[in-house]
Amino acid sequence: MADDSLTPPAGAAKPAAPKPKPPTPAPVQNPALAGKTTSRAASAAKKAGKVIDDTSPLMGRRGWMSLAWASFTAATGGCLAATGRFMFPNVLNEPPQQFTIGFPDEYAVGVDERWKDRFGVWIVRTPFDAVHEAAGFYVLFSVCTHLGCTPNWLPAEVKFKCPCHGSGFRDTGQNFEGPAPRPLERARVVLAEDGQILVDKAQKYQFELGQWSDPEAFLAV
Amino acid sequence: MAEAKSIKPQESALVRAWNWLTETQVWVSVFRHTAPINDRNRVLVMLSNVFLHLHPVRLKKHGVRLRYTWCMGGLSFFLFLNLTFTGLLLMFYYRPTLEYAYTDIVGLREHVPLGIMREMHRWAAHAMVITVWLHMFRVFMTGSYKPPREFNWNVGVIMLVLTLLLSFTGYLLPWDQLAIWAITVGSNMARATPFLGYEGPGASLLAIGDVRLVHAADDARFALLGGTFVGEGALLRFYVLHCVALPLVIGFLMAVHFWRVRKDGGISGPL
The ranges assigned to domains in chain B are 70-263
Distance from CA of B89 to the nearest CA of A (A): 8
DSSP β-bridge partners for residue A122: A140
The ranges assigned to domains in chain A are 21-57, 98-220
Global pTM exceeds 0.80: no
Structure-derived torsion over alpha carbons of residues A159, A163, A167, A171, reported in degrees to the nearest 10: -20
Q: Where are the alpha helices (DSSP H) in B142-245?
A: 150-172, 177-188, 220-225, 232-240
Q: Which residues of B touch A91 (CB under 8 A)?
A: 107, 110-112
DSSP β-bridge partners for residue A199: A99, A189
Query: Considering Cα of A129, then A132, then A137, then A142, what sign does the dihedral take?
Result: negative
CATH-assigned architecture of domain B70-263: Up-down Bundle (1.20)
The CATH code belonging to domain A98-220 is 2.102.10.10
Specify the higher pLDDT residue, B269 or A175. Answer: A175
pLDDT tens digits, one per residue of B12-51? 899 999 999 999 999 999 888 888 889 898 888 888 888 8
CB pair distance less than 8 Å for B89 and A82 = no
Mutate which of B88, B99, B111 to disrupt the A interface (most A C-beta within 10 Å)? B111
CB pair distance less than 8 Å for B113 and A90 = yes
Specify the higher pLDDT residue, A132 or A44. Answer: A132
Distance from CA of A83 to the nearest CA of B (A): 8
CB pair distance less than 8 Å for A91 and B93 = no
Mutate which of A1, A3, A80, A86 to disrupt the B interface (most B C-beta within 10 Å)? A86
CB pair distance less than 8 Å for B114 and A85 = yes
C-alpha B202/C-alpha B193 separation (Å) is 9
C-alpha A161/C-alpha A119 separation (Å) is 19
* Nearest CA-CA partner of B183 in B216, B227, B217: B227
A3 pLDDT higher than 60: no
pLDDT tens digits, one per residue of B133-192? 999 999 999 999 998 899 999 999 999 999 999 999 999 999 999 999 999 999 999 999
Q: Which of A86, A88, A90 sits opposite B117 (nearest CB)?
A: A86
Over residues A117-133, mean pLDDT = 92
C-alpha B233/C-alpha B188 separation (Å) is 16
Q: Where are the alpha helices (DSSP H) in chain A?
A: 26-29, 39-47, 61-86, 116-119
C-alpha B264/C-alpha B251 separation (Å) is 20
A153 pLDDT higher than 80: yes
Distance from CA of B131 to the nearest CA of A (A): 23
A86 touches chain B (CB under 8 A): yes
CB pair distance less than 8 Å for A87 and B92 = yes
B270 pLDDT higher than 90: no
Q: Report DSSP letters for A107-159, one per residue.
A: --SEEE-TTHHHHSEEEEEEEEETTTTEEEEEEEES--TTTS---EEETTTTE
pLDDT tens digits, one per residue of A168-208? 999 999 999 999 999 999 999 999 999 999 999 999 999 99
Q: Which residues of B touch A89 (CB under 8 A)?
A: 93, 107, 111-113
- Half-sphere exposure of residue A9: CA atoms within 13 angstroms, side-chain side: 7
pLDDT of residue B187: 92
Contact residues, A window 87-116, toward B, CB-based 8 Å cutoff: 87-91
**In chain B, % of residues over pLDDT 90:** 61
C-alpha B208/C-alpha B201 separation (Å) is 17
C-alpha A157/C-alpha A175 separation (Å) is 14
Taking residue A215's Cβ as centre, other Cβ atoms within 10 Å add up to 10
Q: Which residues contact B29 (CB under 8 A, 6 or more apart)?
A: none
CB pair distance less than 8 Å for A88 and B93 = no
Highest mean pLDDT (candidates A42-46, A61-65, B236-240, B258-262): B236-240
